[in-house]
Amino acid sequence: MEAKKTLVFDFDGTIADTLPRILTISNRLAPDFGYRQVPDDEIEMLRSVRSREALKLLQIPMLRIPAIAIRMKAELQKEMHLIQPISSMKEVLGELKTTYQLGIVTSNSQPNVERFLEANGMAFFEFIYSSSSLFGKTRVLKRLLKQHQVKRQEMAYVGDETRDIDAARKTGIDMIAVSWGANTADALARLNPQHLIHHPDGLLALLSR
């Protein structure tokens, strides 16, 4: 892997194990917004498809996404104290911090992320960018490249969703897809990210090559 100076991480499902809590909140909000709840036997199926396809399967109109996202973030804020880091992620990030500039790009709210990092002693990040749009990460990644004067070839994005791969590709930066989050390894592999890892320790192995 070409040498990097900056590693940018997605938050939900990549650093924080928020997905079970998000699913619980989503099912709780479903009657208010008129979309389908997700039974346990459909979770793996939804993990195996792209983000936009999952929205269609849940019968969530694109126009309702902003309102749903606002409610979701507000509900999640109340429950952030219940969220734990992905196993081994704290130790891996602590080691990476000694060599790389670390940042976060997320569709979660910045207060939620900051609350989680403080509660778990994970003050490893030099910047946090929050996108209000579910599919707005491309714009945010391009903005941070400019603001932090980072060359594309010197940055990699680490994320767990197909939309993370799309955003990295449109931005022109390397993608490290992780299979422990929202999408399955097969769903991620179908989009041909530059790298696909299956455990946080894989980051250390990949970056040491």
Question: What is the structure's pLDDT at 16?
Answer: 98
What are the pLDDT digits (tens) for 110-139?
999 999 999 999 999 999 998 876 668 999
d(CA 170, CA 142) in angstroms, rounded, equals 9
d(CA 60, CA 57) in angstroms, rounded, equals 8
Q: Judge whether residue 74 has pLDDT over 80.
A: yes
Mean of all residue pLDDT scores within the chain? 94
What are the pLDDT digits (tens) for 36-49?
999 999 999 999 99
- Among residues 124, 126, 129, 164, which one has the least CA distance to residue 144? 129
Residues 34/28, Cβ–Cβ less than 8 Å: no
- Class for domain 6-17+84-207, per CATH? alpha beta
DSSP state of 161: S
Q: Please tell me the pTM assigned to this model.
A: 0.93
Question: What is the structure's pLDDT at 61?
Answer: 86
